[in-house]
Amino acid sequence: MCFAPDARPPELPAGLVRAPIAGGAGAEVLELTSGDGTRFSAAVAESPAAEPDAPAVAILPDVRGLYPFYTELAERFPEAGHHAVVVDYFGRTAGLGPRDGDFEYMLHVQATTLEGVQGDLAAAIAALRERVGDVPVVAVGFCFGGTMAYLAATNHGLGLAGVVAFYGGLNGARFGFPNPPDVVGDMRGPILGLFGGADQGIPGEAVDAFGAGLTAAGVEHEIIVYPGAPHSFFDRRQDEFADASADAWRRTLGFLGGRRQAGATAV
**Structural domain boundaries of the chain?**
28-257
Q: Which is more confident, 259 or 51?
A: 51
Q: pLDDT tens across 2-55, in order?
A: 667 788 898 988 888 877 765 445 789 999 999 999 999 999 999 988 999 999
Q: What is the spatial distance between Cα 180 and Cα 170, in angstroms, rounded to a whole number?
A: 6
Q: Which CATH architecture has domain 28-257?
A: 3-Layer(aba) Sandwich (3.40)
pLDDT at 264 (0 to 100): 41
CA distances from 137 to 58, 160, 170, 187 (A): 7, 5, 23, 16
**For residues 137 and 57, is the Cβ–Cβ distance under 8 A?**
yes
Q: pLDDT tens across 175-218, in order?
A: 889 999 999 999 999 999 999 999 999 999 999 999 999 999 99
78 class by beta-carbon count within 10 Å (0-12 exposed, 13-18 middle, 19+ buried): buried
CA distances from 178 to 9, 18, 113, 151, 170 (A): 29, 38, 11, 8, 10
Q: pLDDT tens across 124-142, in order?
A: 999 999 999 999 999 999 9
Pairing status of strand 39-45 against strand 84-87: antiparallel
Q: pLDDT tens across 43-54, in order?
A: 999 998 899 999
First to last CA, the chain: 29
Among 81-90, 98-107, 219-228, the minimum mean pLDDT is found in: 98-107
**For residues 137 and 58, is the Cβ–Cβ distance under 8 A?**
yes
Torsion of CA 233, 61, 169, 5, to 10 degrees: 50
Q: What is the spatial distance between Cα 167 and Cα 231, in angstroms, rounded to a whole number?
A: 6
Q: What is the spatial distance between Cα 36 and Cα 17, in angstroms, rounded to a whole number?
A: 38
